[in-house]
Structures are given as structure tokens and as C-alpha cells.
Amino acid sequence: MVYLDTNCVIYFVEQNPAWLPKLIARFARLRAANDQLVVGDLTRAECLVGPFMTGDTVVEASYRAFFNDPDIRMLPMTAAICERAARIRATHKLELVDSLHLATAAEYACGLFLTNDGQLARCTDIAVEVLK
């Protein structure tokens, strides 16, 4: 399983011109290797903030379609994730939201955490790939 950081989902769904080609290529390689793409409940919350603030129902629908895609697995948050996130935050001095994402990926034994945020590579609980 490969956990997608929120930035990857936003760039993909909103078709960011700088990042979309990189994500499409990386997703294709992951799927060819039979890796499952996963996101956490927190990703849904983060992604929907923008469309809720702007009232953009088209973008909101695009996110909902992404999260309902059968090729995307949703990982629920648990108490163990919250505790692990606290340890990650304390150890690696990362923001709580980032720590929660990393903890979710680690608790569900994901093989990789895909992001474009280089500071998340400080976490040693899971392999982090910084998309460039």
C-alpha cells in the first residue's frame, strides 16, 4: 500500500499543471507494481475545506469521486494512530496534521508514503518518497 499525502491528492484532483504529469506517471508505475493507493480520513477533511470555503460544488464533487473510487482505499483513524502521531511529532518536530498522516500510514503498514513535502522524510517510521 502506498499512502498519498494530501498535497498529492489536491494536485491530482485539481489538476495542478506542474504536478499532475508527475503524479499520473508515478501512479501508473505504482499500479503496474500492484501497489494499492490509500489515503486516511484526515485527507478527506483537508481536501474538502477549500471547496466548502468557496462553495465550489464542482471541485467538491471531484473530491468525492476520488474518495469513492474503488481503486482508492480509505484508512480510518484510530486511537493508536493518534498516539503514534504524538510520538512522531515529539520525535521529529513535525506538524500534528503531518504526524497524523505519517502515523496512519505506519499503523496500517503501508510500504511507502508519497508526498512533495521534503521535511516529512525526517520521519523514520515509514519510507517516505518525496516527489520531485
Which is it for the CA torsion 77, 83, 88, 94, positive or negative? positive
Domains (range + CATH), the chain = 2-130 (3.40.50.1010)
pLDDT in tens, 53-90: 999 999 999 999 999 999 999 999 999 999 999 999 99
Label residue 100 by pLDDT band (50, 70, 90). Answer: very high
C-alpha 112/C-alpha 106 separation (Å) is: 9
Of 4, 132, 130, which is closest to residue 67 (Cα–Cα)? 4
How far is the C-alpha of 52 from the C-alpha of 67, rounded, in Å? 16
In angstroms, the CA 35 to CA 27 distance is 9
What integer is the mean pLDDT of 100-125? 97
